[in-house]
Amino acid sequence: MDILKKLWIYIRRYKFMFYGGFLFIVLNVLTSMIPGYLNRRVIDDVIRDNKTELLLGFLLSYMLAAVLRSIFILIQRYLIEGLSQNLLRDLKQSVYDHLQKMSFNFFNQNRTGELMSRMTGDMEAIRVLFAEGMIQFTRAIFYLIFVGIVLIREDVQLTLISLAVSPLIAFFAYRLSTRIRPIFSKIRDQYSDLNSTVQENISGIRIVKAFHQQCYEMEKFDEENNEYFIRNYKAAKTWSKYFPIIEFLGGVSTVLLLYFGGRLVISKEITLGVWMQFNSYLWMIIMPMRMIGHLVNMFNRAVASGERIFKVLETEAEITNNEKAVTLDRVKGEVEFRRVSLKYDDQYILKEIDFQAKAGSTVAIMGATGSGKTSLINLIARYYDTTKGEIYLDGINIKDFDLKCLRKQISVVMQDVFLFSETIKSNIAYGSPEATLEQIKKAADIADASKFIEEMDDKYETVIGERGMGLSGGQKQRVSLARAILERSPILILDDATSAVDMETEHKIQQALESMEHKSTIFIIAHRISSVRNADQILILKDGQIIERGRHEDLIKKKGEYFKMFKEQYKELLEDKHFKEKLVVS
């Protein structure tokens, strides 16, 4: 019921369609009772009493009832369909908008396939409840009321006899629904798993092929698919166990009516017309009773789906705006970490990180894999919040910034490059949709991407495949670098952004970055000494702590971790006497 209350918030926006639809369902019920009544009059008045002059009036009434009913059905469909489609659109929009606000953590914890199921299967269950369920439920209730009143007024005894087995029909229909509900719930969970398997397989198809795991993947799918089949089969078996009983009981009702009603007609207690009317009205009650199970299922399914949808909607975004959030047009770009620690699960990944980056300076972060480099830079744009300590941007705590404004100050080239299956131009302009082609080209120039883009047949209009398929690793990195550069943000974060380009290209990119007219504070995560040697400050991370810091020359002199990396990378060159002299190696 709680779910219905929550859904009502969406439905009430379309009150007109809701109440209007309801009204036309009732009108439809009333008009569909007219032919049964006219049958009775034709049999009793025209045929039995020979009042042939009434026939034309009855025929016209038939026609009128049929026309009215068609019009009512049309309006009812139009309103109910409009209601359910509007509800679906709004609900989808809310979930989609909410997903945009969720933190990285949320997406780490929820599988894509499952979230996709929320947006598709679960949404559909809600739509069906309002499109089909609402019509059938309202009709069932009003048939029971209207038809019940008419039949009881005609003959209480015959009504009771004819409907004697209907409680049994309702009982078995309900029982069917309670038996089948948990099976349906399992079917939906299995559908989610099947969805996730397919989604992961398609996204990772290149890895599957590279590791020739097609057979394994097929087996995995086969298992999931088979489980899906078994659950559906079980549902069908349960259905087929109860359905014949319900059908049989419906038949018993007819037999009872035939026998007892027939006797009443013979003894002239009721007319043949009344008996005919009973016969047609009886089915108007029995049919909805048979539908009870189906309706309860539809309802349960929608409630379960609604619960899952609202669970997503009610999961509060972990990272939110401070009430008195500051908005600044453009910061200078001074960043300070004060005793920052970060915990994932129960483990500290970053411990007591302290450093200051002057506006316009370049900070390089190095360290073994897993030492916490990406985690550190993820904190600046608040993709995660610090567990302890604070981060300041131009002296203001980043938690006091309006989140959108904060993220606008920061451009990121992530380690895992993601490009949309659109043109290169729109990929570069993703964060700056107002950018001119001139500006896009300039950004591509700085990222050393313009040459290969110009060589393509459609140049900047070239449509790239999903996730940038069709481009080399280095090309993808450069397009994503151009995208970040075009934003001209005061802070630029490059997480292993040039790892896939050769050293010469990387050098060119670095020079171009340095010569940009707007000076950004740059954070570079890199493994190559050549990528970081010109940085104003190099931080060496180990197990989440800064173990060394300084400029290249200082760190070389220190002969610590950085020097070890340096020796490793320049082993051969270090044997060259001239090179050694040129470097500040004492």
Ligand X SMILES: Nc1ncnc2c1ncn2[C@@H]1O[C@H](COP(=O)(O)OP(=O)(O)OP(=O)(O)O)[C@@H](O)[C@H]1O
- Name the residues that contact ligand X, by CB under 6 A: 108, 344-345, 349, 367, 369-375, 415
Beta carbons within 8 Å of 581's beta carbon, 6+ residues apart? none
Smallest separation, CB 108 to ligand X (Å)? 5
Least distance CB 489 / ligand X (angstroms): 21
C-alpha dist (Å) from residue 497 to 129, 500, 526, 534: 49, 8, 8, 16
Phi and psi dihedrals of 413, rounded to 5?
Answer: -110, 110
Helix (H, G, I), strand (E, B) or coil at 500: coil
For ligand X, the closer CB: 28 or 537: 537
Nearest CB to ligand X, comparing residues 25 and 413: 413
Nearer to ligand X, 106 or 242 (CB): 106
- Provide the minimum distance between the beta carbon of 521 and ligand X in the complex, in angstroms, as a whole number: 19
* 48/108 Cα distance (integer angstroms): 78
Nearest to 498 by CA among 511, 516, 517, 515: 511
- Distance, CA of 334 to CA of 540 (rounded, Å): 20
Based on CB atoms, which residue is closest to ligand X, 370 or 473? 370
CB closer to ligand X, 375 vs 411: 375
* Nearer of residues 85 and 499 to ligand X, judged by Cβ: 499
Judged by CB, which is closer to ligand X: 83, or 349?
349
What CA–CA distance (Å, rounded) separates 365 from 537? Answer: 9
Nearest to 448 by CA among 535, 368, 510, 357: 510
Which positions ≥6 away from 420 have C-beta within 8 Å? 426, 427, 430
Q: Least distance in Å: CB of 525 to ligand X?
A: 7
Nearer to ligand X, 196 or 375 (CB): 375
Q: How far is the CB of 378 from ligand X (least distance, A)?
A: 7
Contact (Cβ atoms closer than 8 angstroms) between residue 73 and residue 32 = no
Question: How near is the Cβ of 571 to ligand X at its closest, in Å?
Answer: 22
Q: Are residues 421 and 464 in contact, defined by beta-carbon separation less than 8 angstroms?
A: yes
Q: How far is the CB of 319 from ligand X (least distance, A)?
A: 14
Name the residue nearer to ligand X (CB basis): 140 or 417: 417
The C-alpha atoms of residue 412 and residue 378 are separated, in whole angstroms, by 10
The least CB distance from residue 231 to ligand X, in Å, is: 33
Rounded least distance, CB 415 to ligand X, Å: 6
- Backbone dihedral region for residue 158 (phi beyond 0: left; psi -120 to 50: alpha; all else: beta): alpha
400, exposed or middle or buried, with CB in 10 Å at 0-12, 13-18, 19+?
A: middle
CA nearest neighbour of 547 among 368, 411, 379:
368
Q: Give residue 15's identity as a one-letter amino acid code.
A: K
For ligand X, the closer CB: 445 or 543: 543
Q: How far is the CB of 375 from ligand X (least distance, A)?
A: 3
């299995």: which residue's tokens? 190
